[in-house]
Structure formats: structure tokens, C-alpha cells
Structure 1
Amino acid sequence: MSVASLLGFGRFALRRLVEMVFTLLVASFAVFGAMYLAPGSPASFLLSGRSASPQALAAINARYHLDDPFALRYVRWLGDVVQGDFGRSLTYRTDVSRLLADRLPTTLMLVGMALVVVVVVGLLLGRVAAVRGGAVDSAVLVATTLAIGTPSFVAAVLLQGLFAVQLGWFPSSGAGDGFWDMVFHLTLPAVALALYLIGLLARVTRTAMLEALDSEHVTVARSRGVPERLVIRRHVLRNSLGTLLTTGGLIVSTLLVCTVLVETAFSIGGIGQLLELSTSTKDFPTVQAVSLLIVGIFMAVNLLVDLVLPLVDPRITLGTRSAAA
């Protein structure tokens, strides 16, 4: 890259980072405020339905700063978050940072396994459908339609009932201990998490490759006698990378969101199940921390896609995708 290109890339990256920080600030305000708009209060959960004297209730509100003005609570919380302190869980009576540190690796491993399944199977099905056509294309379209029409929670229940309960091939719950035991336990959840996105990626890959196959440079390459496998690899797949990479950002974000359903179905102790349990018990600090973490990962993935996209597809200039979005 030339000096001018490097400077342009640096300015673009800096601008996107500033936008990311601003968006995270807005998201933090929305996340913090949304919990206080929900019915109920942390004090009622801490009392477990028991009646309390005004003095006891005042002590609880003072300990957790529940009587402070909303703006003051938000500024205090945001200042702690910037320093890595997400507060203390009302449910688990421990630091939220420790809860995230204990559960995040499980979720990341589940998302990573599901992402591998999505990429391998989705790209393969899309490539086969585009290149083979005919009956193979029709079969892939039917299969992907079924996959897209099956929500992650439904897929989890079906896979759990068949392969865990009926056949007994895989565990029905838990995350396992140790790397390979975790891989074994998370196989069914990863497939359930990946099923919808396999159909999505396969269809996007098929469409992108069909468009590339009809392009002029592919016709020229074939007329010059270039072997078909090289045409597919050098001209078709390469020109489809921009679309596939953009879809990849959406895939990772969807995987993070859908972990809530899948982890709950398989009783996996990740941040998805933690978010579900914390929401039901009005554990404000934990819900806010997990929600902000998911938003942060989502934005980081999109930033990475924006930065890598011009490198894999020279036809796209810096900022084009962001402006289009």
C-alpha cells in the first residue's frame, strides 16, 4: 500500500473507532435505562417476597444506590464500567466481572464451533448449488429453506430429543469439563445454533457465485481455456468474497444473540443462559453487563469487517459499506 493509502486507511479506522465509542455510549444508556423501565425492582427480589420495615427497605436502597437520581446512577455505573467494574450480582452475590470471566469462555467456544459448522457447510452447499445446478441446486434450495424456517430453539429441542434422548449419542445438557469433553457436549448445541445460518450462508454464497459466473471476465477466462476449477477458485470465489465477508459479520452477531435460546435449552452455563436467568430475577448489574458485552462484540465484528473488506475486494473503497449501511 502507498503512503496515501495507509493514511486514508488510518483516518478511516480512527473515524470508525470514534463512531464505535459513541455508539457504545448510546447503547450503554439504553441498556442501563431499559432495566429500570421494566416492572418490579431489585429490592423486591432481594426481599424474596417478604415484607420489610421501612428501615430495612431504606437500607437496601442505600446499599445499592436505588434511591439516587437516574442520571447519577448512570454516571456512577458508567464510570465503574470504564474501569472494568460491572458491579455486584444481586442473584449470585459476587462480582459480575467474575461471572463473565467464568462463563464467557463456554459461550465463545460454542459460538466458535457453530461458526465453523456454518462456514464449512454453508459455503460447500452454496458452491455445489451454484456450480452443479439442476437437481442438485433444487435439492440445496429445499434443504436451505427448511433450515432457514427452523428457529434455533426448535432445532435444539429436536436434536436433543433425537440424538440425546432417543439415540443417546450425545449429552442432553451441560458444557463438560476439559477441551475435548466440552467439544463433545457442545456438538449438538453448535449444530442447533448453526442450522438457520447454514441455510442463510448457503443461499448468499449461491447467489454471489451465480452472479460471478455470469460476469464478463469469467466468460473470457473460459474462452481462453482456463480449467474450470481455476475459474471457480480465482474468478468466482474471489469475486464473491466481499458479499460473503459482509454476511459473516451478520452471522457472528446472530450467533451471539441466539446463544440465549440454545444455552437455555441445553442448560449450558454460558453468558446466554446467564442473561436469561438474570433477566427473570431482575439482576440489573448482570443484565446490563452481559447486554453491553454482546453489543461491544457485535460492533467489534462489524468494525473488523469494515477494515478487512477493502483488502479482500479492491472494488470496495474505504467507507463504502458504512455509507451504504
Structure 2
Amino acid sequence: MLRYVIKRVLQAIPVLLGLSIVVFLIMRVFSADPASVVLGEHATQEQMQAWREANGLTAPIVVQYLNFLGSALRGDLGTSYYTHTSVTTEIMSRFPATVELAIVAIIVASVLGIVLGVLAAVHKGSFVDGLSTFVALVGVSMPIFWSGVLMIILFAGTLHVLPSGGRIDPLLAPVGGTGLFILDTLLSGDFEALGNALQHIVLPALALSLYSMAIITRMTRSSMLETLGEDYVRTARAKGLPKGSVDRHHALRNAMLPVTTVIGLQFGSLLGGALLTETVFAWPGIGKYVVDSILKSDFPVVQGTVLLIGVIFVVINLIVDIVYAYLDPRIKYSQEEG
């Protein structure tokens, strides 16, 4: 197992290195000149040149990249061109909001996806199967920004039952703690703030969970159908065990192995894919932060945030691979033989 873990860690290093190079080059090649964006259209050429020199943008691009990489390895992601504060500090202040949104979204996606997938497999070819397939198709096909806008129009604009954006009413926001408002308000016993935070997170979490729910539904259905056809399931039924008991304790338990892997991968995707959701719902996480920074050509913020998301995604993939190899040793042995 240790050999397998070391191999997977070493494989992750070039992935992160390649990600840092791609992000660095994209910001330099395709983004607007940050000097003109930051200083404004009335700035002189001398002022813009002085600003570039002060921010290290006149050095050769290779030197700029090596400086960025060296600082990132020390935990320093640079300083924002606009706020003049540490990018690391800015990210850490917003990261709990993204984590909280991703956790709630993956819980919603997992519960609904597993239930729909199991029902579709158990009732293969029925109306329930067709309905779950349709829901999965809609979840995969509908963009987050479109489903989010529709939810805002329906639940906030028409029915007036849920807020259209934000994380919590400002006067109810908890101070200190973990930064996870639901957890902080629950631990402090402030149930008014807890209810308010839950109301605010419903729409963005639901919009963010649709795609993952569709993937989990399809994987659960496929895995359940494969498991239901196994000999040990047919033997259990032949012994007279209740159908529900066989489905739950024999089929579902074994079908959950690949589903668990998909859930772990989807959680990593949610952390990195919350950009549009946070923008649509004005959710103050790192997704909205990086979108705003892209529009302002704030190089350090974009580079640091994308690199952090990449590291998180790689770490989650690594954890999922290790857990999967632990649960199914055949994966570990096949990887080592390859």
C-alpha cells in the first residue's frame, strides 16, 4: 500500500506543475495589460511602466514564472493588485464559504442521486426508471448559470420563499469560529441565524448539485443493475429472503464501491466548479472572487486561486484512489503491475 501511495503522490507533482505553467501563461498571453486596467485609461506610459517594474512584470517571463513558483512553494501566493493584501489571506477568508457550499451540494447530490439510481435499477424499464433517467439527463444538460437563474426567478422572484443571493443577513452573521456559518450558528445555539443561513444556501446548493446528482444517479443505476445480476444476489432471493432486504444488504452495499469513488471525485469538482454558481447567487466564496479578479486582470489572485483549487482537486483524487485501493486490493495490484 505504501508503495502505491508514494507512486500516486509522485504522479500528482507533474500535474500540479503543468497546471501552474498553463495558468501562468494564459494570464500573460490572453489577459489585458494589468497596468492599464489598474491605473485607468488616463495613466501615462511612464506611470504604467513604473507600475509594471514595481510588480515584477518587466522581467523575462521565465523569471516571472520561477519567482511565482518559488513563492507558491513557500505558501506565498502574491499580493493583490487592487487590495494590496496577501492573496493567501484573501483566499482563506473566502474559502470556508466555498467549502460549505460544496459540502451541502454534495450531500444533496449524493442522497438524491443514490435514491434515484436505486429506484431506477430496482424498477428497471418502469416509469420510475424513465423519470430518473430524465432527471439525470436534465441535470447533465442544463448549465448551472441557467438553472440558477430559473431558480431565482421561481423561488425568489415569484414565490418569495427563498433569498436570491448572499450567504446570510449581515446582522445575523456569526463572528469568528470556523467560517462555516451553518456549523458556527449550530454550535453557538443561534437558531435564528442557523435558519437564515440554511435559507440562503438552498438555491445555490441545489443548482450546484444538479450535475453531480445526475452523474451519481447514472453510476448508482449502472452499478446496481450489475450487482443485481450477480449469483450471490440470485442465491439470496432463492433462499426466500425479502426482496427489499436483498436489495439493501446485498446489492446496494456492494454497488456502493464505485459510487463512493464518484462522490469523492464530484466533491473535488464542486470545489473547483463553483465559479458560476457563486457568481449567479452572489455567494462570497473563492469562485466569485476569482471571476471578479479575471475581469480585473489581477494576476496574483487568479494564479493563486486556480493553483489552490488544483492542489485540492489532486489531493481529493489521491485520497479517493487510496480509499478505493484499500477497499478493492485488485486496483492496487493492477496499478503496481502496470
* TM score, norm. by length of structure 1: 0.91
Alignment partners' CA distance in 1, 2:139 and 2:31: 37
TM alignment of 1:128-207, pairs within 5 A: 128-133=119-124, 134-176=126-168, 177-178=173-174, 179=181, 180=194, 181-207=196-222
**Does structure 2 retain, via aligned residues, the 8 Å contact 1:119–1:201?**
yes
1:292 aligns with 307
Alignment partners' CA distance in 1, 2:242 and 2:326: 26
TM alignment of 1:105-124, pairs within 5 A: 105-124=96-115
Q: Deviations over 1:43-85 (max 9, x none)?
A: 111221123142x233212210111111111111111111111
User: 2:274 aligns to what SS in structure 1?
Assistant: helix
Q: Does 1:259 align with 2:274?
A: yes
**Does structure 2 retain, via aligned residues, the 8 Å contact 1:212–1:218?**
yes
Q: Deviations over 1:259-282 (max 9, x none)?
A: 111111111111110111111110
Letter in 2 for 1:65: G
2:20 aligns with 28
Shift of residue 94, structure 1, vs aligned partner: 1.5
Segments of 5+ residues of structure 1 without an aligned counterpart are 1-8
**Does structure 1 retain, via aligned residues, the 8 Å contact 2:265–2:320?**
no
**Does structure 2 retain, via aligned residues, the 8 Å contact 1:306–1:322?**
no
Letter in 2 for 1:238: R
Alignment partners' CA distance in 1, 2:279 and 2:31: 23
Given candidates 11, 20, 35, the residue that maps to 1:43 is 35
Given candidates 318, 321, 324, the residue that maps to 1:303 is 318
Alignment partners' CA distance in 2, 1:168 and 1:174: 15
User: 1:162 aligns to what SS in structure 2?
Assistant: helix
TM alignment of 1:233-244, pairs within 5 A: 233-244=248-259
Shift of residue 27, structure 1, vs aligned partner: 1.4
Q: In the superposition, relative to structure 1, how do residues 261 and 232 fare at CA in structure 2: closer, same or farther (>3 Å)?
A: same
Letter in 2 for 1:48: G
**Does structure 1 retain, via aligned residues, the 8 Å contact 2:272–2:313?**
no
Q: In the superposition, relative to structure 1, how do residues 232 and 320 fare at CA in structure 2: closer, same or farther (>3 Å)?
A: farther
Q: In the superposition, relative to structure 1, how do residues 322 and 26 fare at CA in structure 2: closer, same or farther (>3 Å)?
A: farther
Greater CA drift, 68-77 or 251-260: 251-260
Letter in 2 for 1:216: D
Q: In the superposition, relative to structure 1, how do residues 61 and 161 fare at CA in structure 2: closer, same or farther (>3 Å)?
A: same
Q: In the superposition, relative to structure 1, how do residues 155 and 319 fare at CA in structure 2: closer, same or farther (>3 Å)?
A: farther
Task: Identify which of structures 1 and 2 has the higher relative contact order when contacts are C-alpha pairs closer than 8 Å and 6+ apart.
Answer: 2
Identity %: 34
Return structure 1 stretches of 4+ with deviation > 6 angstroms. Answer: 321-324
Letter in 2 for 1:295: G
Shift of residue 226, structure 1, vs aligned partner: 3.1
Greater CA drift, 70-79 or 20-29: 20-29
Alignment partners' CA distance in 2, 1:168 and 1:155: 17
2:62 aligns with 71
Q: In the superposition, relative to structure 1, how do residues 279 and 323 fare at CA in structure 2: closer, same or farther (>3 Å)?
A: farther
Q: Deviations over 1:99-118 (max 9, x none)?
A: 10111000000001100000
1:18 aligns with 10
Q: Deviations over 1:106-139 (max 9, x none)?
A: 0000001100000111101111111133222122
Alignment partners' CA distance in 1, 2:41 and 2:336: 49
Greater CA drift, 251-260 or 270-279: 251-260
**Does structure 2 retain, via aligned residues, the 8 Å contact 1:27–1:295?**
yes
Given candidates 74, 80, 104, the residue that maps to 1:89 is 80
Alignment partners' CA distance in 2, 1:43 and 1:53: 10
Q: In the superposition, relative to structure 1, how do residues 209 and 322 fare at CA in structure 2: closer, same or farther (>3 Å)?
A: farther
Alignment partners' CA distance in 2, 1:42 and 1:258: 25
Q: In the superposition, relative to structure 1, how do residues 322 and 212 fare at CA in structure 2: closer, same or farther (>3 Å)?
A: farther
Segments of 5+ residues of structure 2 without an aligned counterpart are 175-180, 182-193
Greater CA drift, 166-175 or 136-145: 136-145
Letter in 2 for 1:190: A
Shift of residue 320, structure 1, vs aligned partner: 4.2
